[in-house]
Structures are given as structure tokens and as C-alpha cells.
Amino acid sequence: MLGKTLFSDTALSPSGTVSCATCHDPTKTFSDGLSQAMGVTKGDRNSPAIALASHARWQFWDGRADTLWMQALGPFENPKEFASSRLFVAHRIAAGYAADYATVFSKYPLPDLADTTRFPLAGKPGEPSWQGMTTADQDAATRVFVNVAKAIAAFERTLRVKPNALDRYGAGDLTALDAAQKKGLTAFFKTGCVQCHWGPRMTDDAFHVIRFPTGRQDGAADRGRADGIAPLQASEFVASKKFSDSPLSAKSLLGLTPAATTMLGAFKTPSLRGLPSSGPYGHGGTFATLAEVTKHYGERGLKHDDTRSIGATEAWVPLFDANAQNDLVPFLQVLASEPVP
Ligand code: HEC
Ligand code: HEC
């Protein structure tokens, strides 16, 4: 399957060392176990476990992609991750995948990439090699790039996880949770976790400010959604534009306002499936253990004068004591999300 192979092909990175699987390792619940992601250099955020990402309304901690395929374009041209470019990727497809590509994307035959005067070996918007191309050739190269992302997204959509103890408990097996885990489940409701972490993936797919610490290498607070909206609205790859297969079904992005105070320091509520194996936790990957996370919640996040985070913790997130903080942990530990092979 094309997307599955591309997902772990390091030849798509000029260094020959990075693939999607570098940071989303199938043997590590499709994450990497690191605080911040490590591509060609160290990044600023934690790599999410992505087995269930295909069900999410937004992609990335700041939601700067509105489809799974749009998300998959980002890592290639991110200088800290693949440090690749759409022209480089297109050439790798012509060299290694021409037949498979032609079968899957028969509607879009590969352009004549052998002509490197028209299609330089590397380049992306903003770089001289790219700016020298005709608009038609740019579109043709971008189309290959987009199709690579769509093949990868198709693979991601096949990922499934096995039921965990909470699923068995919900299905009526009252012995699936022990006493400590049941106490934790009660605390999960009482302390209000369930207001944002609910449903099959235990997320509301929305953005909230809980003042988790930054993971940025420069130490500055991560502004989250406040910085994610503008790139999203400006991108040529959103679901409403020409590279989309269903532009008419796309939701409008016009109502999103990056300047809204509720967006400053807001991050997407992550799925809690996979917690036992997806640490470290938070957008910055700064909490090594779940006990540190529940302590953070019990204190309503970092204090407002702490520069490691920004924005105002949502008013109704409650304070709760060390007993409740401890009670939550055994429950969070049952939320395994073992991928189905
Ligand atoms: C260098 C490590 C690294 C590589 C390589 C990488 N990712 Fe990621 N991935 C991350 C990090 C870190 C994030 C969160 C980034 C952010 O929110 O700004 C992320 C986010 C995602 C998300 C969104 C998940 C969510 O819950 O929001 C998906 C899906 C994903 N990556 C898939 C991919 C695919 C597909 C590839 C290959 C094309 C890839 N990643 C390559 C580290 C990586
Ligand atoms: C107002 C919505 C909201 C509430 C209430 C809430 N969360 Fe969260 N949760 C989030 C958001 C948003 C994040 C991401 C925060 C960040 O990284 O900045 C998050 C992150 C987490 C993480 C880290 C997951 C990971 O993969 O990194 C855990 C664990 C967690 N929450 C557990 C809880 C528990 C336990 C409670 C109850 C005490 C709770 N949450 C209450 C929205 C919420």
C-alpha cells in the first residue's frame, strides 16, 4: 500500500534519516516517547500519538490544518522535521514510486520530472529554484506533493486501536476496573475532566487554555491556537481550496479570530487514549508522569505570572486537592490504546 510505505520512507528527507515513523513509531503507539520531537533538529512541541487522528476535526496542537492530508504536508517542508521540499518529494516519487503512483492517481499523471530545467531537484515557495518555475509547473509539482499526503492520510485512516479496560467496563464488565481505578473514574467526573475529555476519543476537539508549560527551545511561552489560525486561513491547502477533493463540503474558516483572548495559549484537547504509553505529556512534553499532570490540573495550571505559559486558565477549571490528584492517576493508566496490527 502506497501510503503505508511512504509513511516510513526516509528517502523523502534529503538527509535520508527522517520519516513520519521517526516520530510516530508504530511500536510506540505512533508517538516517540520524547519530550519534544526530534527530526533533523529538535522541535518545540511533543509528538502526539496519531492512531486516531483521522477522527479529529483539527490537526496539530494549534489546529493549523483542517484535514488529515493537509497535516501530512507540513512535516516535509518543516526545516526542523524533514527539511525537505515539494520538488524533492516529487522527484523521489518519480524515482521510486512511478508505477504505484500512476495506479493510484491515474487522474494526475506525473509531469516530466526528468526535465530538471523545468523541475529543479529541490525547492518550495519562497526559494529561488521554485520562484523560477512557471505557474503550471509549480501546480503540477504541488499536485504530486498533495497526492503523497493524500496517500499517507489514506493509510492513517486504516489505523485502529484495541479496546481497553474502560471500554470493557463501559460494555458491562464491572470487573474490568479495580477499586482504585473506579475511584479515579469518579474523580474524573467530579473534577470536571469529562467536560473536555469525553466521547470515544475522550476529547471535545476544541481549544482550551490550561496553562501547560512551553516546550519551545527558546523558552518562550507557546501561543498555541492564537498563532495557528492565520497560517490556516492563508494556506492554499485548506479543504475549501483547489487541491481539495471536496471543496464544497469544507467548513468556513472565516469566523476564526486569532485575536480572541480565548485563543491565546489555547491548545487542542488531546485524545486521552494511549496515555500509558504516550508520555511525556502536554503540548510541550514537559510532564514525564501522569501524576505531574493531575497535580498541574489540581493547581489550575501554571500561575499567571509564570512566563512558561500564556493566556488565562478557563474560569471553571476547578482547584482540587492532592487526594483527588492522586485518585485520578490509576484511572488514567487504564486508557491504553494498543494499535491493531
Ligand atoms: C520530527 C518529528 C515528526 C515527524 C518527522 C512527523 N511528525 Fe507528525 N507530529 C510531530 C509533532 C511534534 C506534532 C505536533 C506539532 C504541532 O502541533 O505543531 C505532530 C503532529 C502530527 C499529527 C496531528 C496529530 C494531532 O493530534 O493533532 C499527525 C496526524 C501527524 N503528525 C502525522 C505525521 C505524518 C503523516 C508525518 C509524515 C509526513 C509526520 N507526522 C512526521 C512530530 C513529527
Ligand atoms: C477545559 C477543558 C479541559 C479540562 C476540563 C481538562 N482537560 Fe485535559 N487537556 C485539555 C487540553 C486543551 C489539553 C492540552 C493542554 C496543553 O498541552 O497545553 C489537555 C491535556 C491533558 C493531558 C495530556 C495528554 C497528552 O497526551 O499530552 C492529560 C493527561 C489530561 N489533559 C487529563 C485531564 C484530566 C485528568 C482532567 C481533569 C482533572 C482534565 N484533563 C481536564 C483540556 C481539558
In tens, the pLDDT along 207-261 reads: 999 999 999 999 999 999 999 999 999 999 999 999 999 998 898 898 898 888 8
Do residues 263 and 192 lie in contact, with contact meaning Cβ atoms separated by under 8 Å? no
- pLDDT the model gives residue 315: 84
Q: Which atom of ligand 2 is nearest to the CA of 207?
A: 12
- Protein residue closest via CA to atom 36 of ligand 2: 193
Own/partner long-range contacts of 53-58 (Cβ < 8 Å, ≥24 apart)? 53/156, 54/153, 54/156, 54/157, 54/159, 55/200, 55/201, 56/201, 56/203, 56/205, 56/268, 56/271, 57/205, 58/205, 58/268
Mean pLDDT for 300-312 is 96
Q: Which atom of ligand 2 is nearest to the CA of 324?
A: 38
- pLDDT the model gives residue 134: 98
The three grid cell numbers given for residue 233, joined into one nine-digit string: 486561513
Q: Is the pLDDT of residue 176 over 90?
A: yes
186-220 pLDDT per residue, tens: 999 999 999 999 999 999 999 999 999 999 999 99
Residue 48 CA to ligand 1 center (angstroms) comes to 7
- pLDDT the model gives residue 98: 98
Q: Is the pLDDT of residue 62 over 90?
A: yes
Find the angle CA(189)-CA(191)-CA(192) to the nearest 5 degrees. Answer: 65
Q: Find the ligand nearest to 50 CA.
A: 1
- pLDDT the model gives residue 316: 80
Q: Find the ligand nearest to 275 CA.
A: 2
Name all residues whose Cβ lies below 6 A of ligand 1.
Answer: 18, 20, 22-24, 37-39, 43, 45, 47-48, 50, 53, 56, 59-62, 71-72, 75, 81, 152
- Protein residue closest via CA to atom 3 of ligand 1: 23
**Cα 115 vs. chain centroid, distance in angstroms?**
36
Q: Which atom of ligand 2 is nearest to the CA of 271?
A: 26
Q: Is the pLDDT of residue 276 over 90?
A: yes
Q: Is the pLDDT of residue 289 over 90?
A: yes
Cis peptide bond upstream of 128, omega within 30? no
- pLDDT the model gives residue 128: 98
124-173 pLDDT per residue, tens: 999 999 999 999 999 999 999 999 999 999 999 999 999 999 999 999 99
Do residues 88 and 127 lie in contact, with contact meaning Cβ atoms separated by under 8 Å? no
Do residues 212 and 313 lie in contact, with contact meaning Cβ atoms separated by under 8 Å? no
10 Å CB burial of residue 107 (0-12, 13-18, 19+) is exposed
The region, left, alpha or beta by phi > 0 then psi within -120 to 50, assigned to residue 49 is beta
Q: Is the pLDDT of residue 22 over 90?
A: yes
Q: Is the pLDDT of residue 13 over 90?
A: yes
Q: Find the ligand nearest to 295 CA.
A: 2
Mean pLDDT for 59-83 is 98
- Protein residue closest via CA to atom 16 of ligand 1: 60
10 Å CB burial of residue 135 (0-12, 13-18, 19+) is exposed
Name all residues whose Cβ lies below 6 A of ligand 2.
Answer: 191-193, 195-197, 208, 210, 212, 267, 269-270, 272, 275, 278, 281-283, 290, 293-294, 297, 314, 317, 328, 332
- pLDDT the model gives residue 126: 96
Q: Which atom of ligand 1 is nearest to the CA of 63?
A: 27
The residue whose CB lies within 8 Å of the most ligand 1 atoms, and thus the one to mutate among 7, 17, 35, 50, is 50
C-alpha torsion sign, points 191, 192, 197, 200:
positive
- pLDDT the model gives residue 245: 95
Residue 291 pLDDT grade (very low, low, confident, very high; cuts 50, 70, 90) = very high
Mean confidence (pLDDT) of the chain: 96
Residue 244 CA to ligand 2 center (angstroms) comes to 32
The region, left, alpha or beta by phi > 0 then psi within -120 to 50, assigned to residue 134 is beta
Mean pLDDT for 110-128 is 98
- Protein residue closest via CA to atom 15 of ligand 1: 60
Longest pairwise C-alpha distance within the chain: 69
Of the chain, the percentage scoring pLDDT greater than 70 comes to 100
Distances (CA, A) of 104 to 92, 101, 235, 251: 16, 5, 25, 27
Closest CA to 294 of 189, 181, 179, 191: 191
Q: Is the pLDDT of residue 43 over 90?
A: yes
Q: Which atom of ligand 2 is nearest to the CA of 297?
A: 38
Residue 269 CA to ligand 2 center (angstroms) comes to 6
The residue whose CB lies within 8 Å of the most ligand 1 atoms, and thus the one to mutate among 32, 47, 148, 268, is 47
Torsion angle of alpha carbons 12, 13, 18, 20, nearest 10°?
A: -40
